[in-house]
Amino acid sequence: MSRLLRSVRTIAAIAALTAVLSPAQVNAAPAATPSTDAVAPVTRHLTDAAPLTAGVTLTTSLGASYAFSSVVAGKPVRWNPCSTMYWKANVLRAPAGGLDILKAAVASIAASTGTNWVFAGTTSTTPNSSYLPTTNTVKPVLIGWTDGTASDLLRYKPTSVLGMTRTVWFGKTSTTGTVAATRGAVVALDRMDNLPLRGSRSWSAVALHELGHAMGLAHPNDSGELMQAVLPATISSMQTGDRKGLALVGRSQGCITF
């Protein structure tokens, strides 16, 4: 899960659970013994990311950095970029204009990854981790505004939390190697927070950041990127490192099938 906080006080550094600062690649799934079965088993994995906070930027480095949430067989876990990605929005409790913000954020992510996204309409489905597929099938990305009473992604979280993202990926190891692919993502935005629609520290910036997690990015140790662990006060769009990371989970890296 990715947590986004709006606290304006100085924030102590928070260790990322899955962040891998480029070019290092850690947190790789343990190597599995190649299967000798005719049909290799498919395993399910939930991906959690470290919190994103708003407040004083913790400057660690400045450059084109990126990080991946999960790495398998030396490669970032990602969606199959050759398949159309569908997404749904729950805007029942969204601020006025919230859907337009989400559409713009999705368009930006699509351009950076070379993927094709199709809006599957609005929904009343609450962004919960239970929405994620339990079998190796693809579900539309679900993003929407909710609260801790309705969504387990926000439940018991501090009032400063703005949003949470959780993804699920499936992997298969056989004698020919290991293949992994993301099959679902859900983003819960906290409706209790009062943010502007656009600009830095806005719902637009939050949506971009969370969709970056949905695509497979984690927090880099770089205060010059939107994907950094501290929500920047002066950045409202994906930066050089963010875009490089997105390209590496995008269409240019080829299709994924299994």
Cα 208 off chain centre by: 9
Contacts of 82 (CB under 8 A, 6+ apart): 251, 254, 255, 256
Please tell me the predicted confidence (pLDDT) of residue 223: 87
Number of separate domains in the chain: 1
> Which residue ranges of the chain lie beneath pLDDT 70?
1-39, 49-63
Q: Is residue 90 assigned to a domain?
A: yes
Query: Residue 200 sits in a domain of what CATH number?
Result: 3.40.390
Let me know if residue 198 belongs to a domain. yes
Q: Could you please report the per-residue DSSP string of 19-65?
A: --BTT---SBPPPPPPP-SSS--EEEEEE---EEEESS------SS-
Q: Is residue 250 part of a domain?
A: no
Contacts of residue 13, Cβ cutoff 8 Å, sequence gap at least 6: 58, 229
Position 139 in a domain: yes
Taking each continuous run of H as one helix and of E as one strand, the counts in the chain are 3, 11
pLDDT at 18: 35
Q: 24: which 2 tokens?
A: 């290092």
Q: What angle do CA 96, 209, 182 make, to 5 degrees?
A: 110
Neighbouring C-alpha atoms within 13 Å toward the C-beta of 110: 16
**Structural domain includes residue 11:** no
Local structure of residue 246 (DSSP, 8 states): H
Query: In degrees, to the nearest 5, what angle opens at C-alpha 50 toward C-alphas 99 and 86?
Result: 35
Domain containing 90: what range? 42-50+70-216
DSSP H helical ranges for 78-202: 98-113
End-to-end CA distance of the chain: 26
| Tokens 């030396």, located at residue | 74
All residues at 6 or more sequence positions from 35 whose CB lies less than 8 Å from its CB, including other chains? 41, 173, 174, 175
